[in-house]
Structures are given as C-alpha cells and as structure tokens.
Chains A and B, each alone.
Chain A
Amino acid sequence: MRIFKIWLCLILFGAPILTFAQTRTVTGKVMNSTDGTPLVEATVSVVGTAISTKSGPDGNFSLSVPQSARQLKVSYVGFADETVSISSGVMQISLTNAAENLSEVVVTGYGTARKKDLTGATASLKEKDFNKGVYTSPDQLIQGKAAGVLVINNTGQPGGATTVRIRGSSSIRSGNQPLFVVDGVPLSGGSARPGGNGASYGSDGGNPLNFINPNDIANIEILKDASATAIYGSRGANGVVIITTKRGKSGIPQLDVSGSTSVSSVLKKLEVLNGDEYRAALKDYGQTGGDFGGNADAFDAITRTAITQNYNVAIGGGTDNGKYRVSAGYLDQKGIIESSELKKITANLTSSFKFLESKKLGLDLNILVTQTNEGVAPISSFVGFTGNLISQALQWNPTHPLRKPDGSVWIDPALGATTINPLAQLEYFKDRINTNSIIASVAPSYKITDELEYKLLYSVNRQVGVRRGSVDRILNAEGSLGRGTAFISNNEQTNSQVTNTLNYNKQITSRFNLNALAGHEWLIYDTRGNFTGGQDFPNIGLNYYDFLGYATQSSLRTGSYASPTTELQSFFGRAIMNFDDKYLVTGTFRADGSTRFGKNNKYGYFPSIGLGWNVSNEDFLKGNTSIDNLKLRASWGRTGNQEFPSGASLNRYGLGQQSIAQSNFGNEDLKWETSTTTNAGVDFSIFTGRISGSVDYFYKKTTDVLFEQNIVQPAPGGRIWINLPGFVLNKGVEVMLSGRLMRTKDINWGITGNVSFLQNTVDGLAGFYETGELRGQGFSNVRGQRLVNDQPLNVWYLRRFEGLDKATGQSVYADGGNTLYYSGSPNPKTLLGLSSDFSYKNLMATINMNGNFGHYLFNNTAASVLGIGNLGTRNIAKNLINQPIKEAISNAPAPSTRNLEKGNYVKMANATLSYRVGNIGKNIRNMNISLTGQNLFVITKYSGFDPEVNTDAGFGGIPSLGVEYIPYPSARTILLGVNFSL
C-alpha cells in the first residue's frame, strides 16, 4: 500500500510540474505511402504525453513539444499507425493503408507471414485488445474477443481452470483444449500442480497456463481452420493459440512499471432463509425441532472482501544487434472465500542477438520462471452428501450460531454428525500448493543467404509442484474425526523440444513472392509423481503433514508414478505463395509420429491447402473509393488430436499392493483422430476502414474419433481405446464486425463485435455412454448426460418435471418418472463478444462483454443442496417457500428437468475508464491511471451463482459440460491501476 500512496502523490503533484517543462516546435507533413497524397485530419501526438494536433488540408502540421519528447505517433483512419523519432526540419511521415499494409507481419506456426498473404481463419489480438482486470492466465485475456472461441472460467477460484473451445468440441473423450504455444514452445496442456489426495480437498485442477504472466504478453494469435493449424499436425485439431511475449526495442533502456490494487466481493449470493424466515418455515411445516433461536449468516461468514495486488516492472532496450527485455511480476490475489489465495512471482527474460560482421548469426534466448503459492479452500465437487464448504455454508441452520460465546467454532452433535460447521471446516483444514515452473529456450539461427535462414530451437519446460493438506482431528468430517488426516503430493514434469527449421523467403519475380518453411521437431514429455498420506495425529501445535511418520501403520498410504516415455517426432513444411498480390496459395504438410500411436500406425499425415483472392486488387475494383479491401478465402485440410493416455496401444500390467493385474487391452491400431475442416471466408474493409470485418463458414468433421469404448467382457478393465467408426460434426458461421463510429479531433469511438453460431452432432457410437455425474444427497450414481448417436455431445438425459401435485406437494414427472428424455444440449449454440472503446481527449473508456446462448445448465446446487427436505435440519432455498403450491417436505429432489435451466447470459466482463496523464517532469513518462470493473453484471435468468460455470462432473473419463455444483463462487472486482515508464 505504501508504494501505492507514492503513486497517488505523483498523480496529484505531477501535473503542475508538467507546465514548467521547456518546449520546442516540430513541423512535418503526413501523406499516403502509396501515392504521396496528403492525409488531412491525421492525428499527430507526442508519445507519452497528451499533446496532439491534427494535420491541415495539405497534410502539414506543427506541434509544440517538450524538450524531453522523443517520438511522434501519427494515426489516421484506415491506415496503420506510425511511430517516428522526432527529427529537426520538416518531417515527412508516410502512412500505409491498413488494408494493403505490406509490411504488417503476423505470427504463424513456426514463423511469421505477411498478413495480406494469409489464407486461413485466424484472429490476431494485441495487448490493447485484451480483457482488462485481474487475470492469472492468458486464456482469460481473449474471452469474448474472437469469433468461434468459447472461454469459460470453470469456477471463481483464484487461478482456477478454464474451458477453452475453438469452434466447439470435436473430440468426445480426448482433450478439447486448444494447443498453446508460447514463443515457439508448444505446451503439453498439463501442469505439475498435484491434485488433492482425498475427497474434501479443493478439486479445481488449476489453470495449467498460470505460469505465464499476462502482463508479459504482446500478442495472441488464434488459429482456427486447417490452413492455419495443419502445421501443428496431430495436435492442431482443437485450434492453436500462439502467445508471443513482449520484446525489448532498440534504444536506451526503458523501465515500465505498472501496479494495481483491486477489491473483490461475491458476484451473487444464493438466496437462502435467514433465521426468522427459517423459524416461520418450520412453523408453517409443523416442524417442532430445528429452531436454536439465533440468526446466523454462514455464507457471509466464509466470504470476504478480498484485496488483490499486482505489480509488474519491465526493463527493455538494446541495439539493433542485441535486444533484451527483463520483467518481473508479483501477484497477490486473495480469494473471496476465506483462506483461499494465489501468490505468483514471475520473472521473464527475452533476448535476441545478432553476431558476426555480417550479422548472419542470430541467437534468441528466453527464460521464464514462475513460482505460484496457493491456499486452497475446501471446495471440491467430488464430495459426498456431507458436501463442501459452499454447501455447508448454504445449508447451515440459520437459527444456530456459528461460534460459541467464547469465540470458538461450534461443532455441535445436536446438529447431527453429518452437519459440518463451515467455519470449522475452514479453521481445521489446510491445503497448500506450491508450483515452480521454468521454460528456457535457446534458438540460434543463421542466415545462409538473404533469403534462406536456418534456425534451431531447443527448449526445456520443467515444473515441480508440491501439495500439502491436512484435516484436523477435531473436525467432524467423515473418517477424520478423532483421527486427523494429512498428505503430501509431489509432481514433476519435464518437457523438452528440439526444432530445426529452414525458412526461405523471396520475392522471386516482381509478381511472385514465396515464403517457404521446412522443419523437423522432436518433443519429449516426462511426468512423475508420488504421494504419502496417513492418519491419526495429535494436536501439538504442528502441521500434521510435517510429521507424517507419526501416522498409524495401518493408515499410511503411499504411491508413485512415472509416465511411459512419450515422444513426438514430426516433419513439416509450408509454402505461402503470392501471385501479383491477387492470388494467394498456402500449402502445409506435417507428418507426426508418436510413441502413443499403435505400432501399426506410427505416423500420421496432415495436409492442408488454402486459397485467397484479394478481389480489391483486381483492376475492376481499382479506384473504387468505398472498398478498401476485399479478400475471399477458402481452405481445406486435415488436423489431428492425439490426446489419449500413453500406453493405450499396448497390453499393460498394473502393480497394486503385492499384486499385479492386467489393466487393459492394448489396441495396436490406435491412432490420432482426424478433423477435416473446410473453411470459406471473406475479409473486408470499407469506407477507408470505418467498417471492417470478416465472415467465416466452417464444416469440421472429425473421424477416427478417439474413444474409450466399452470392452467386450470378460476383459481387463472396462474399456478400450479405439478410433470410432463414426464421426463428430461441428459446423458454424462466425462473423466479426468492427466499426469506427466517431472520429473527430477529440472523440474516437469504435465498436467491435463477434458472433458465432455453432452446431454439433455425434454419430457412430455403439450404444450410449453416460457422463455428467450429478451429485449430492439422493444423487448417488446419477448421470445426467449421454453421448449417443444423432444428439449433440453431452445431451441432457433426465426425467421430465411437470410441476408439483396440488394435493400432495410431490413432484410430478412425465410417465411417473419412469422414462428419461433427451432434454437439450449444454453446448452453447451462439457465442457473442462485444467490445467498445471510446475516448475523449485523454480520457478513454473500454467495455468488453460476452455471452453464450442456446444451451442448458443443470443447477445441481439447487437440486441436491437446498431442497425442501432439509427443513428442520438444514437450510433451504428461499424460492421454495411461499409458493402457490406448497411442496411436501418429503418430496424427493430427484434429478430432473426441474433444475435444468437455460444458460443464456450476457456478461459485462470488464469495463475500464482510464486517463492518460502523460509525462510528469523529465523522468516519468506515459503515465496512465485506470479504473476497471470486472464481472460488473450478468444478464441472465439462470438462478445459480453464475451461468459461466463448468463444474467437473465427468464420468469414466468422459468430460461433462454445463453442470453447476457448489462451485467456488465468482467475484466482482474493482481495480485501480497505474502504469508509467522511466
């Protein structure tokens, strides 16, 4: 807080200092780079200050700038911004039409390409486009920002996991998360963060991307269709997200500092009865017991207003032959649930050097080091009927105090052995995770000729995680009361990569440009883990997990695991051809070999072709003033998914205690699943860039679908990995539209929106498969979702609720509840993202909204935690009383469509108001202060905590979607941030 106060002082006293600075005058002319015509009303501003002007009718400008000013930024609608160093004399500044920005280069798989040459469906997001707020991982930055990309924060836990789907779920059983690539290093999708050992420990697996500091990210490319992703072969089918971290710029070292403090509170509290209402309800239902006379709000007791602090410093600089950027970040995020927190320290070095007199030898060296320390609240979705912290708080009898008069928490047998005081659960429970990650990469390169470059990339991604947990012997948790339990888990993960690439880039004739790539890659994944746990510890002021050796012999458990060798070897190539700036062809090919694949299918081959036609460069459109850019794209290609466990192709024998058993039948034909994607799209920009956008249609058919099918018994294990003879089909339309609505000297207003319509079906399954495990009391062995032919993936399959019987107050179901019905899909049919930025002089406002529509969520929290039957022992949902039909207290809250709700929502994900203070004195430059609100409101009819939810309710390895079960609640956050440079 002290640093924060210093900043505040700087803000308050900075402005007067500014006025005493000396000034000088800069003059120049702004023109169109293609024909040299003057650009009128172009904005010329001094970088790092609020000083700006507009160019006159002849393109000329004159501006008084401080002595300390170094650079000018010139911008004009429809043209790419240009930043130039201030020079004496009349400066000539040429802007390039954005539509035909020849120089703009975007990151693609294994290299870069000119944006105008692209034929694939991609989305490119820069730092300014990212969501603003408290984010711990990069996937949260792009939520709602790109068409066809679904990002769900599964829970509200700090650092919690997300669900990311690019163009829907194309796989049934194997992974659906896209491939993330950080500065050329493809990530395995896993992390070394150990899971909880025992049911009551927090079950959110954490986000495996947490080790990346969002503040270090310069841009994110999302590759969606096969033309873009086929270069990633057997890992490209779910789309690819390429993250590029910030680089140093040549020049004297610049120190960037940013800091923020934010305050979070619960986004939504579920309505349960308070003490008085509870008493009234007891009376109404003729219950004699259950009133302890008090008034307690247990949910309030476990939640808090949480403070998060985030500081980042970065130093960048260098020369043309050696650039570097070093950054450090510190995040201290307190969760809105007491005891939960995430502390993260990151350090990142990126550097790039050129050697030899010819400067042909290059070297990139990157190191990213992260440590996270988490305090995890006892919120697990895998708990039995005694529930987790959230359900214990929701169910707490509101007439019973949480604490005794002496301040200690009440563990009261009168409330029953199975009723756990949520405060006791917090107090007598420990769960801490420490994860250390390092990604180091070294990439020497050599320019063999001006056109041909060889590059070697070697990287190591090493992570270690340790988790320690204990439940005190005082807590009346099942199996722990009077005993105490504790465990320690360790995981480690080492992934290495060797990538060789040859890149050839040449303007072969004036009308033909070729950008070609050939490469080889070798990846090795290695994970290990071990755990020890035990019971029966004394309370002697020490943490149980620090003296595990005390445990009774019979309670000791231990185990260890090392993954099978997992290697991937690949050969790939790509050619991007541009004929006359009109006709574009991209061809890619990858051959992937994997240790996972069965011996009969060691290599998979993934080709793609993309065609583009820059219609606006045709003669018949030359000179058309309203159309800046019109490009048609079409692509076809094959990509794969190989996210099934190692060892599935071989017969394995597992080692149990003093015993061995065959654990599976290996399928030696097992191979990747193949997604064949056809994509057609159009990019356009009209009225000098005032309106631009793109429309894409895709048709993605996944065959050889990886699936763990029921095996014909007698057999080892219950299932066998196969490539299904059927298919999963995803098709849809994505629209992205961007409009610059106002553009005057002081006011600038733009809106960008994207919408996607998705459809998904599955075919070729033998029989049906259940998932969507619904939980809670009376919900044992209940699965609410199915995989079955001709239905959407994870279709709901439930009893149909038809209301309450007037006479008996019992639930009425279609066909007496003996028939279950297909009851809708948990997959959103429509995804929406909407952003707007508005600036007035130095004041800027941005909002980012997102929404999902057309899907159903199962509110398992309402179904099994707050039912009417709790009355007399535990609390109930407020909406159950004072209804036209009085529900019988004995009515079983059976799984049915009663708790299946429409999931439609629109969320104000974040809104930021920022003020550009500019330079303060000679030293502080580019100061910016901002106020951001995150999760400000949600428009929805969904009655649970947050319609953006995905509690893990997978069964038998088949993932679920759209279940809410006593999750870590979402937070609403207000954030105050400052950043500046030195």
Chain B
Amino acid sequence: MKPIKILIFLFITFVAISCTKLDESFRSELEQSSSGNITPDQLLISAYNSLNGPFQTGDLWHVSEHTTDEAIAPTRGPDWDDNGQWRALHAHTWNADQGQITGAYNGLLSSQFSASNVLQFNPSPQQAAEARFIRALSMYAVLDGWNQVPYRSDLTNYKVLPTTLKGKEAADFIIAELNAIIPTLPDTGPAYVANKNGARALLMKIYLNKGVYSNRAAPTFDAADMNQVITLADQIINSNKYSLNDIFYDNFAPNNDSKSKENIYTLFNNASNNRGGNVRGAVFQVSHYNMNPSGWNGFATLSDFYDKFEANDQRRGMYYDYPGALPNPGKRQNVGFLIGQQYDLTVDTALKDRKGNALAFTRTVKLRETGDNLEITGIRVIKYPFDYGTSGDQKNNDWAIFRYADVLLMKAEAQFRTGNTASPLLILNQIRLKRGATPLLAVTESTMLDERGREMYWEGWRRQDLIRFKKYLTPWQEKPTDDPKYLLFPIPSNQLSVNTNLSQNPGY
C-alpha cells in the first residue's frame, strides 16, 4: 500500500501547488486601487473629450436643431428613413425610446461623471475648476432639455442612486458651482480650456433662461436675472479680449483657434494629435455624394429660414478663402447656405447628381420626399468650412460653444426684456454691420429671435431660443402645431427603468 500513499501525497501536492488565489490583475488598464498611477490631468483630458460626442453634430446637436425651423433631415426615398427617427424630431412626434434623445441624455450625464471623477484624484485648484466647468456645462444641457438632472455625488458605489435636481434647484446648483470656480479659472489662454469668460457666458445662458425653467409653456423673465445677464456680459466685454470678426467664417475655419476673435469657449479639435470630435460630420451630413467631400446627402434647412437673410449677409453664404480650402478657381460660394447649382471646387465644372441631372439644391424640401429629384432637395448649410488640408477623420476646426456675438445678443435680449430698446438696436446693428447686412430700424421680440437665428444658426441654440420666445409649439414648414409636452424631452425609457429617482416628464 505504500505506493498509494506516495501517490495520494503527490496528488495533494499537485493540487496544493496549483492552488491559486484567483486575484484578477490588469495589464492594459488600471484598477481603481492603483490610483497612484492615475493623474488628474489625464482624467481632465477625458472629461474635455467627453463633451465632443453630444455637442459636435452629435445627439445633443440633433435634438437641439432638427426639432426646430432651422434644420430638417428629409427621408429621401431609399435614404434617411432610419426608422422615422429624423421625421419624429422635426415633426415633434418623438417618444421616450427616441434614439437621439436617449443618446444625448446619456452622453451628457456621462460627461458629468468624467468631470466629477477628476475631483477624486487630487487635482490642482485650476484642474478642479476646469472639471467643475465641464460638469456645469453638461448639467446645464440636461436641465435645458429634460428638466431633471441626476447628480451623482458618490462616485464609488454604483448602487447609490444619484439624486435628481429639478428645474430651479438644478439651475441654482449650477450657478453656485460657476460662481465658485470663476475666481480660479484662467483669465487667458486658448479658448478650448475652461476660462472665466466661458463660465460667465454659461451663467448668462442660465440666467437668461431661468424663467423657462420654472414655466416652460409661459416663461416670465425676472429683471434681477436679466440684470445678471447684462452684468456678466459687461464683464466679458470689458475684458477687452473679444471683438467681432470681419469675416464671419473665421470663427469656424480650420484655423479658428488663431483667427477667431469671438470664440470664448470651444471644443478642441486637432488633426495631428487625434483629440477631438466629429466636426467633419457637419459637412458630411449635408454634402451630396458627388460633392467634395463626398457626403451623405442628408440635412438641409427650410426656405422660410433661408428667407430671413438678406442677399449680402455674409452669414447667408459667400466665397471664403481659408487655409485648407480647395482651389475654387470660379470663386464659388463654399460656405453658408448652398442653393442652386453646385460646382466642383477644384476644376469649376458644374456637378451632376447620381442620375445625371444638375446638382442644384432646391428651395423646397419635404419631410418625406417622393419626387424624382429627391437627391437635390433642400438648401444645404455649411457653417464649418471643410478642412481639406488634413486627410484623416479629425479636422482642425475647433467647435464653438460660446461666442462673443452670442454674448452681445444675450445682453441685447436681457436689456430688451427689461424694457430697454435703444441699446439692443445698437448691439444688433453692430453685429449686422460686421456681417454685411443692412441696419435694423427697430427691435421687436421677433427681430430679436430672427437675429439670433441668423447669427447662431446650426450652433445648437435654436430649440432653446424658440422655447424662450414661445415659438417652439407654433407650426413651421413640415411641422404642425403640437402639444406642450414637447417643450421637454422625455426621460429615456432605458434610464427610467433603472433609476427610480426619476419620474417621466408630463405627457410621455
């Protein structure tokens, strides 16, 4: 029996040797417990980057523009049906399962987490302030669209549900945050780093819209809030860092980081080090297949909106020469609103559509195109001049979030809402003069709104502006009058089903 004992002993030894504690260790990632290797600057870059998804022609942009009179994504026969989601946005028939609404909500909240996470890792005071700015911006966008802002203060235990900040409560939170960080944020530096004036511009947005957050259907505007807007605007103006550009599109060009005198806070795009978002998508989404760049032939604007512009208004379109442009020997219009015959900007020949007809964009556009010319319907909009100089997906145009012109317009509006009409007229005409438009003779609520549209089109503000001016529920081209419930987006059903601290917005 001796061999048996030896072998049993051997067996046990084998088992013992091969016993393992089953601890998991990472090789291409870091574990939370190895936090000594995680530095706040690396996390801060991720937090900045997290804004690219929602803001730069992403879901937040879609739900802020396609739901308005500025943008439409027509179903072009075999193209752009996409299960009706674009039609639902424009016609205001979305529900709690709508993809872009869900994407925007989750994307913004994810940014909030990225920003909060920086604070866990011993940031410098400025890093902390930058992170809190990013968090404030993402929370503000959620407040604006959904009114309910889940706020997660415990970043380590996922089982603790975030508290929900609603309406004014959320606005107050964000205001307090911004006021707390302004002293620490930098005064100067590139526009893509959170800065004092960027925070002030965000504060202006909140004060300007505060009346909306308490009553979206019938907002009233508190004079104190309006005075805050004016004060903040003056702080920005008096910093003497900004002025209106002679050429509108310098603010959006590939070299806008150096050219723009208006950009206060931007999202950083850089072709060479691969940081940035999908700014090229802004052109791909409108560009016809046979244009350069060969795009997806999608989004357009509506003729009523186009007709708000004067012919000489730079903002309606112009020939623009910029670094990274095509040769454009015919000096054809290459930015702004593209209408009529389009040209090959390298050799200046007239383009054709895929069926061989003239590629001439039409004024008329329908939500569901059924005609034979469905490839070419709708006026196309190019606000960000295409960066032909870089070949990759990443382009150099920084994405403008806050612009000086916006600050001026907000100031004008706040003055207007407190009964001052003289100063707003001066401000509007100051802008119009720069843009090549004729001066206005008077300001009214509708000229205020129209001028915001002309200046800020396709920058993601239109939905908010229409709501504030009580126009969001009125009919416009390819959209009927609709139910007040659409003033708020629904809480996405995939969040409602897991977060019991949320309740569905009324009507959904």
**Chain A interface (Cβ within 8 Å of chain B)?**
286-290, 385, 413-419, 446, 448-449, 452, 454, 456, 478-479, 483, 498, 500, 502, 520, 522, 535-536, 552-555, 560-567, 569, 593-597, 602, 646-647, 649-663, 665-667, 709-718, 720, 766-769, 777-782, 799, 808, 810, 817-818, 864, 867-870, 872-873, 888-895
Contact check: which of B28, B77, B85, B496 meets A889 at CB < 8 Å?
B77
> Chain B 284-303, CB within 8 Å of chain A: the 1/0 string?
00000110001010000000
Contacts of A649 in B (CB 8 A): 24
Question: A779 CA to B32 CA in the complex, in Å?
Answer: 40
* 8 A Cβ contacts from B11-56 to A: 11, 14-15, 18-20, 22-32, 38-39, 42-43, 45-47, 49-50
* Extra pairs beyond A562-B27, A650-B26, A659-B45 (12, CB < 8 Å): A288-B355, A418-B354, A449-B4, A555-B392, A651-B31, A657-B275, A658-B45, A712-B162, A714-B150, A767-B497, A779-B82, A818-B84
Stretch at the interface among B106-114, B191-199, B258-266, B475-483: B106-114
Question: A500 CA to B18 CA in the complex, in Å?
Answer: 10
Contact check: which of A452, A595, A894 meets B24 at CB < 8 Å?
A595
B46 touches A892 (CB 8 A): no
Contacts of A781 in B (CB 8 A): 82-83, 85, 99
**Which are the 3 A-B pairs with shortest beta-carbon distances?**
A767-B497, A869-B78, A289-B356
Q: How far is the CB of B17 from chain A (nearest CB, A)?
A: 9
Please judge, given known A-B contacts A652-B31, A657-B274, A713-B109, whether A778 and B81 are in contact too, CB under 8 Å: yes
Contact check: which of B29, B357, B392, B495 meets A655 at CB < 8 Å?
B29
Q: How far is the CB of B118 from chain A (nearest CB, A)?
A: 10
| Residue among B24, B39, B271 having the largest count of chain A Cβ atoms under 10 Å | B24
Q: How far is the CB of A570 from chain B (nearest CB, A)?
A: 11
Contacts of A418 in B (CB 8 A): 289, 294, 354
Contacts of A536 in B (CB 8 A): 391
Q: B342 within 8 Å of A by Cβ?
A: no
Question: A810 CA to B78 CA in the complex, in Å?
Answer: 12
Question: A121 CA to B152 CA in the complex, in Å?
Answer: 51
A448 touches B7 (CB 8 A): yes
Question: A416 CA to B353 CA in the complex, in Å?
Answer: 8
Closest chain B residue to A712, Cβ basis: B499
Please judge, given known A-B contacts A522-B18, A777-B79, whether A502 and B110 are in contact too, CB under 8 Å: no
- Return 27 A-B CB contacts under 8 Å, by A number: A289-B357, A416-B290, A417-B289, A454-B7, A498-B18, A500-B14, A520-B14, A562-B28, A563-B28, A569-B19, A650-B32, A652-B30, A655-B28, A662-B117, A712-B158, A713-B110, A715-B110, A716-B110, A717-B110, A769-B494, A777-B79, A778-B82, A780-B80, A810-B370, A818-B84, A890-B372, A892-B368
Q: B498 within 8 Å of A by Cβ?
A: yes
A659 touches B24 (CB 8 A): no
A454 touches B11 (CB 8 A): yes
B4 touches A653 (CB 8 A): no
A564 touches B30 (CB 8 A): no
Contact check: which of A415, A715, A799 meets B152 at CB < 8 Å?
A715
B391 touches A452 (CB 8 A): no
Q: How far is the CB of B19 from chain A (nearest CB, A)?
A: 7
Q: How large is the interface on B (under 10, 10 to 19, 20 to 34, 35 or more residues)?
A: 35 or more
Please judge, given known A-B contacts A520-B18, A657-B274, A714-B113, whether A892 and B78 are in contact too, CB under 8 Å: yes
Question: A656 CA to B391 CA in the complex, in Å?
Answer: 22
Contact check: which of B38, B46, B81, B369 meets A894 at CB < 8 Å?
B81
B84 touches A890 (CB 8 A): no
A867 touches B29 (CB 8 A): no
Question: A508 CA to B121 CA in the complex, in Å?
Answer: 67
Contacts of B23 in A (CB 8 A): 565, 595
Please judge, given known A-B contacts A715-B158, A718-B106, A889-B77, whether A710 and B494 are in contact too, CB under 8 Å: yes
Q: How far is the CB of B43 from chain A (nearest CB, A)?
A: 6
Q: How far is the CB of B242 from chain A (nearest CB, A)?
A: 29
Q: B240 within 8 Å of A by Cβ?
A: no
Main secondary structure of the interface of A (DSSP, over half): loop
Closest chain B residue to A563, Cβ basis: B27
Question: A715 CA to B495 CA in the complex, in Å?
Answer: 12
A714 touches B112 (CB 8 A): yes
Closest chain B residue to A360, Cβ basis: B3
Closest chain A residue to B116, Cβ basis: A714
Q: How far is the CB of A21 from chain B (nearest CB, A)?
A: 53
Q: B244 within 8 Å of A by Cβ?
A: no
Contacts of A290 in B (CB 8 A): 355-356
Contacts of A414 in B (CB 8 A): 356
Contacts of B152 in A (CB 8 A): 714-715
Contacts of A597 in B (CB 8 A): 22
Contact check: which of B29, B80, B105, B294 meets A654 at CB < 8 Å?
B29
Question: A901 CA to B105 CA in the complex, in Å?
Answer: 36
Question: A565 CA to B25 CA in the complex, in Å?
Answer: 6
B25 touches A564 (CB 8 A): yes
Q: B75 within 8 Å of A by Cβ?
A: yes
Q: How far is the CB of B97 from chain A (nearest CB, A)?
A: 8
Please judge, given known A-B contacts A554-B391, A716-B113, whether A500 and B42 are in contact too, CB under 8 Å: no
Question: A653 CA to B50 CA in the complex, in Å?
Answer: 15
Q: B371 within 8 Å of A by Cβ?
A: yes
Q: How far is the CB of B98 from chain A (nearest CB, A)?
A: 10
A552 touches B29 (CB 8 A): no
Please judge, given known A-B contacts A650-B31, A714-B109, A888-B370, whether A870 and B78 are in contact too, CB under 8 Å: yes
Question: A948 CA to B26 CA in the complex, in Å?
Answer: 40
A869 touches B31 (CB 8 A): no
Q: How far is the CB of B58 from chain A (nearest CB, A)?
A: 12
Please judge, given known A-B contacts A287-B355, A658-B45, whether A890 and B370 are in contact too, CB under 8 Å: yes
Contacts of B113 in A (CB 8 A): 662, 713-716
A417 touches B20 (CB 8 A): no
A652 touches B26 (CB 8 A): yes
Q: How far is the CB of A888 from chain B (nearest CB, A)?
A: 6
Q: How far is the CB of A312 from chain B (nearest CB, A)?
A: 37
